[in-house]
Amino acid sequence: MASFYDRMDENRRNSYLLMSLVFVVCLAAVWGFSIIFFGDSDLGFALGALFSGGYVAATYFAADRMILSVSGAREAKKEEFPYLVNVVEGLSIAAGVPMPKVYVIDDPAPNAFAVGTSPDKASIAFTTGLLSMMNRAELEGVAAHELSHIKNFDSRMATIAVAMVGLVAILSDLGMRSVFWGGMRGGGRGRDRGGGLALIGLAIIVLAPIFSQLVRLALSRQREFLADASGAQLTRYPEGLASALEKMKNAGTMVQHASDATASLYFANPLSMGGMFSTHPPMEERIKRLREM
């Protein structure tokens, strides 16, 4: 039977590997974009890298406010939600992290998510559907899971991954439009070599968005397993989290304002897609792992 620590170590290793793959795909897309637009030019690659770094940085620093806004989250006042705030406060002390801001989303589907580039600047949002459905042990399990995302810097990793995948999609779209309207430049250091590089660049910008999205989804699934293990370790009661997952599985977790860009942040998949295109592992597998701890 795997321990908390075995599960956590395994998922951390897998997560770092997948994050590295996202970074490599992003660099490849920048290179392919520079070949399509500027030919075999070091200056073109440098300009592409500069634009890419600026885009990822801007997305990273604006992401939290944007996600809370588009999700329809409102701050949970202690006078209105004393029970919820008390649960999050107690678990924050136990986890050794600053108390995050607590938000509520008016949605009947049971779900929750955490955002924040660091534990000092983090927020957790819970749907009203989750608050009405869970008992204290189950709510503590979900809150511990989300606090674990914050403590493990999963929200930061997810934000960077989403930004890089979005960047790859933009570069691919611009590159394809350039090829369609103006052809491939390719040249610069030898005609044959330039033409060959242009074809490689075209292949990269066609395939990179698909591959980067699949890797991002796999990364998201690994971080969910890690947060489950970390959350169960925090409460010392894996059954609370397993029971919450069972209730959510039976009730459905599709959230009205969720989108592909925000889906990976949620406690359970808020969209209908499953399998390799899902942001989350199957609930059955999550429940099974928790009950084996």
Residue with tokens 């983090």: 122
Instruction: Indicate the DSSP class of residue 98.
Output: P
Strand partners, 124: 102, 114
Sheet holding 122-127, edge to edge: 73-75, 101-105, 122-127, 112-116
Residues acting as catalytic residues: 146
| Residue 214 contacts residue 220 (beta carbons within 8 Å) | no
Residue 161, helix vs strand vs coil: helix
Phi then psi for residue 125, to 5 deg, are -120, 135
Q: Could you tell me the two tokens for 134? A: 């869970």
Containing H/E element for 44?
helix 42-70
With CA atoms as reference, report the closest residue to 265 among 25, 77, 134, 103.
Answer: 103
